[in-house]
Amino acid sequence: GAGVSQSPRYKVAKRGQDVALRCDPISGHVSLFWYQQALGQGPEFLTYFQNEAQLDKSGLPSDRFFAERPEGSVSTLKIQRTQQEDSAVYLCASSSPGEPSYEQYFGPGTRLTVT
Q: Which of 19, 25, 95, 114 binds other proteins (CB under 8 A)?
A: 95
Q: How many residues bind other proteins (CB under 8 A)?
A: 25
Which residue lies nearer to other proteins by CB, 17 or 87? 87
Residue 107 near residue 5, CB atoms below 8 Å: yes
Which residues within the stretch 5-64 sit at the binding site for other proteins (CB under 8 A)? 31, 33, 40-45, 48, 56
In 3D space, the residue among 88, 74, 82, 54 whose CA is nearest the CA of residue 6 turns out to be 74
**Residue 34 DSSP class:** E
Minimum distance from CB of 109 to other proteins (Å)?
Answer: 6
Question: φ and ψ at 111, to 5 degrees?
Answer: -90, 115
- Among 91, 94, 112, 114, which residue sits at the site for other proteins (rule: CB under 8 A)? 91
* Cis, bond preceding 43 (omega within 30 deg of 0): no
Q: Residue 93 in contact with residue 77, Cβ under 8 Å?
A: no
Nearer to other proteins, 73 or 104 (CB): 104
Give the binding site for other proteins (CB under 8 A): 4, 31, 33, 40-45, 48, 56, 91, 93, 95, 97, 100-109
